[in-house]
Amino acid sequence: MMGAEKTRRVVITGATRGLGRAMADEFIRRGHTVAGCGRSPSMIENLARQYPAPHRFDVVDVADDVQVADWTRNLLDASGAPDLVLNNAALANPCVPLWEVPPDEFSDVIDVNIKGVYHVIRHFVPAMIERGTGVIVNFSSEWGRSTSPEVAPYCTTKWAIEGLTRALAQELPNGLATVAYSPGIIDTDMLRICFGAEAANHIKPEDWAKESVTQLLELGPRDNGRSL
């Protein structure tokens, strides 16, 4: 079991804002080492300035397999396999009926939310298997277990994450685990796309992270394949 009392190497995708940034702050506050990525050079620069080595933050588009391959290779060469991989990066489409979603917008959501998770798994998991330990957390959603109108692309990707995680759990050897993790309803930029001003009525990312980081650090092989 991954106990909070031990220093962990944590990888976070989508680390520049929302839940990713809140988790990065909280893991580092607790003494863990974080490697994060995001698509905004200015936000990555700010994170790197605030949290220098041993932490590391890089500009990476997880939808691009070549970028993910370069990033993971550099991280693995520098510090070895991570203990905890958090596939958090995701996009949400503006709320419209499915037939009104532009094809390029639908593709962007699919590419980041599904292919991005696959790319990260593809390049990190072999090293974790070689070491024999590690947990991969794929961020899901209540919309990966239910549906709502006008968010069909996002629902599609999160239902896919639930299936991908369960299948991956059947493939991982003993000692490793993967879970599909629904974080709940948090006041983030993504939620405001769907909820508008009502998003402000929900918990802030930094408050959510204090409890959720504890839960994430406690995940272990017994949780393999669970939807949490």
Q: Which domain holds residue 95?
A: 9-223
Tens of pLDDT along 140-155?
Answer: 999 999 999 999 999 9
Predicted TM-score (pTM) of this structure = 0.92
Judge whether residue 188 has pLDDT over 60: no
Judge whether residue 157 has pLDDT over 70: yes
24 occurs within a structural domain: yes
4 occurs within a structural domain: no
Return the amino acid letter for 86.
L
DSSP conformation class of 55? S
Q: Greater confidence, 166 or 191?
A: 166
50 occurs within a structural domain: yes
2 occurs within a structural domain: no
132 within 8 A of 175, measured Cβ to Cβ:
yes
From the CB of residue 117, how many other CB atoms can be counted at a distance below 10 Å?
A: 26
101 occurs within a structural domain: yes
Tens of pLDDT along 53-110?
Answer: 999 999 999 999 999 999 999 999 999 999 999 999 999 989 999 999 999 999 999 9
16 occurs within a structural domain: yes
Tens of pLDDT along 10-58?
Answer: 999 999 999 999 999 999 999 999 999 999 999 999 999 999 999 999 9
Lowest mean pLDDT among 68-82, 110-124, 179-193: 179-193
In the block, tokens 């070689």 appear at 130
Judge whether residue 1 has pLDDT over 60: no
140 occurs within a structural domain: yes
**pLDDT value at position 197?**
62
3 occurs within a structural domain: no
Cα→Cα distances 148→143, 169, 183, 201, Å:
7, 27, 17, 19
Return the amino acid letter for 51.
Y
Which of 129, 135, 119 shows the shortest CA–CA distance to 9? 135
39 within 8 A of 112, measured Cβ to Cβ:
no
CATH code at 101?
3.40.50.720
Please give the positions annotated as active site: 154
**pLDDT value at position 4?**
43
Find the helix packing angle between 18-29 and 205-217, rounded to 10°. Answer: 60
What is the number of domains present in the chain?
A: 1
